[in-house]
Structure formats: C-alpha cells, structure tokens
C-alpha cells in the first residue's frame, strides 16, 4: 500500500477513535443513543436525580477502542454491558436474590453494608420469601426499599426484562461522523499536496 495512503488511513482511524469515543461517552450525558431516548426506570423514586446507567460510572468508563491496520473496533469488556446495550431478559438466581435483599435492607435502613451482628445476618439470610416480606413490612418502607423488596420476591428461575438502552454501536449519526472525518482528512491531504506541488513549481 502506498505510504501516503497508509498515513491517511492512520490519521482517519486516530480521529475516529477520539471523536467517536467522545460521542459514545456523551450518550450517558444525553441519556440516549444519540436521538434514541433511553427508557426511564419503572420506579419513580429511582429516577429522581439519578442519571440512567451511571450509578457508579464504571460502564461509562469501560468503553475502549482497538485499531488494526485498516479498521477500528469500539467495545467494553464488562459482563453486564451487552444486556444493557441490546436489552433482553436475565434469569433470577439465588445470588441475585441475596443481592436484592441486601439492597432492600440498606434502603430501609435496617442494615448498612456492614452487618451489625453475625446472628442478625444469618437470621435474615435464612428467611423464606414470605417471612422476609413480613419482616421488612413491620414498618413503613421507603419507595426505594419497596423497589428492592419486590425484586427480592421474584422466584429463582424467573426472568427480569431489561430494556434496550444503547450506548455503543452504529447509527446514522455515527456513519455521518465517520464520513465527515474521512472527507476532512482526504481534503487536507489533497490541499497540502497541491500546495506543495505549487511551491515546487514556483521554485
């Protein structure tokens, strides 16, 4: 391949990596995949002051790019990224139920992340779903705690529907941005080459 062409391609891939990484990052600010708005959370209390998909910011920070001689790939290696990006169903496991219970206790103020005693920790972990529901509702729960309680009541093997909230992939906006970058780099190269040739002729 001609050395000049290789240089142009290298510059194009570099510019795409920088510009599109920023655009994909901005999806989290827009809370949309460009013009495709993300579905809001079902629990109103969880929508208050909370940006979607940015509880910890880890997903947003995980977007990376990998380039070859003539291509570029954007990706994230987080295990839960695909289900959020594409949507789908996840199967409730026993481990998930324990997590939901822990979040319910935390939201209710019954327990923080650190259990007060070993006895209480073991007692609450061995409660049946019915006992757990009754024990949690001995007092009025916050909407946040109610949300996690409802999830904790889902049977093992049941499914939870995750709506599609794309933050990475192709779109008309992506295609346009890539075309603009290609055209800009080619135009710059042509202008520089013509200017160089004119100077040579003048000399």
User: pLDDT tens-digit profile of 60-103?
Assistant: 999 999 998 889 999 999 999 999 999 999 999 999 999 999 98
169-194 mean pLDDT = 90
Which H or E run includes 75? Answer: strand 72-75
Do 77 and 106 belong together in one domain?
no
- How many distinct structural domains can be found in the chain? 2
Q: What is the pLDDT of residues 113-125, one digit of tens each?
A: 344 444 454 455 6
Range picked from 14-18, 41-45, 144-148 for highest mean pLDDT:
14-18
Do 120 and 149 belong together in one domain?
yes
Nearest to 129 by CA among 160, 98, 107: 98
pTM of the model: 0.74
Other Cβ atoms within 10 Å of 48 Cβ, number: 10
pLDDT for residue 24 is more than 90: yes
Domain that holds residue 202: 1-42+50-82+167-203
172, 36 Cβ separation under 8 angstroms:
no
Nearest to 12 by CA among 203, 188, 192, 195: 188
Q: Give the integer Cα–Cα distance in Å for 134 and 82.
A: 36
* pLDDT score of 113: 38
3-state class (DSSP) for residue 166: coil
With b meaning 16 or more CB within 10 Å and e meaning fewer, what string describes 103-124? bbbebbebbeeeeeeeeeeeeb
Do 183 and 120 belong together in one domain?
no
Do 180 and 112 belong together in one domain?
no
Q: What are phi and psi of 129, to 5 degrees?
A: -60, -40
Do 123 and 187 belong together in one domain?
no
């Amino acid at each position: 391949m001609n050395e000049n062409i290789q240089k142009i391609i290298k510059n194009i891939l570099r510019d795409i990596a920088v510009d599109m990484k920023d655009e994909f990052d901005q999806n989290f600010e827009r809370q949309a995949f460009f013009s495709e708005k993300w579905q809001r959370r079902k629990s109103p209390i969880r929508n208050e002051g909370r940006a979607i998909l940015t509880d910890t910011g880890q997903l947003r920070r995980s977007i990376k790019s990998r380039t070859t001689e003539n291509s570029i790939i954007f990706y994230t290696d987080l295990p839960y990224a695909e289900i959020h990006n594409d949507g789908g169903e996840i199967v409730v496991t026993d481990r998930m139920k324990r997590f939901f219970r822990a979040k319910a206790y935390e939201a209710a103020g019954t327990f923080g992340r650190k259990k007060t005693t070993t006895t209480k920790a073991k007692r609450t972990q061995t409660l049946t779903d019915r006992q757990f529901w009754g024990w949690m509702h001995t007092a009025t729960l916050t909407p946040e705690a109610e949300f996690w309680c409802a999830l904790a009541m889902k049977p093992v093997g049941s499914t939870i529907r995750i709506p599609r909230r794309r933050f990475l992939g192709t779109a008309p906006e992506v295609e346009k941005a890539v075309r603009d970058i290609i055209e800009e780099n080619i135009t710059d190269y042509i202008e520089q080459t013509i200017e160089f040739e004119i100077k040579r002729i003048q000399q």
